[in-house]
């Protein structure tokens, strides 16, 4: 998959505002199964990790990061993120039913332990 990123940092009071624009050509099968959540939830999780690093100055342990979506707080985060991406898809013209079904599949993908996934 090829992606293009445009990141803009702008002074904002005593902090900085980050605007990230991501353009990717996602496999049509994946897009049909997961919609924008397939990429959006991953970005949202990555930005949480960036926020933790900025707040603490410490590296985020990869094992802790990988386990987060499986924790109760992580599942809630993934559910809310996927719902937000589904709502954005509907606002952009997608049908509500399929958009929310795709978001539910995204939640299952991110919150199912690898050993419990089919073929895992």
- Break the chain into its structural domains and give their ranges: 27-113
User: Once rounded to an integer, what is the mean pLDDT over residues 26-49?
Assistant: 91
User: Once rounded to an integer, what is the mean pLDDT over residues 105-120?
Assistant: 82
Cβ contact 31:72 at 8 Å:
no
pLDDT at 21: 93
User: Once rounded to an integer, what is the mean pLDDT over residues 97-103?
Assistant: 97
pLDDT at 120: 57
Range with the lowest mean pLDDT among 42-46, 84-88, 99-103, 113-117? 113-117
Tokens of 58: 């410490």
């Amino acid at each position: 998959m090829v992606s293009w990123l445009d990141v803009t940092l702008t002074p904002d009071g005593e902090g900085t505002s980050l605007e990230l624009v991501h353009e990717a050509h996602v496999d049509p099968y994946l897009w049909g199964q997961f919609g924008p959540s397939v990429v959006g939830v991953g970005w949202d999780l990555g930005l949480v990790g960036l926020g933790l690093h900025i707040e603490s100055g410490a590296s985020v342990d990869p094992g802790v990061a990988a386990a987060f979506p499986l924790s109760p707080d992580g599942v809630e985060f993934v559910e809310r993120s996927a719902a937000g991406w589904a709502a954005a898809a509907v606002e952009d013209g997608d049908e509500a039913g399929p958009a929310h079904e795709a978001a539910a599949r995204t939640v299952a993908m991110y919150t199912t332990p690898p050993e419990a996934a089919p073929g895992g």
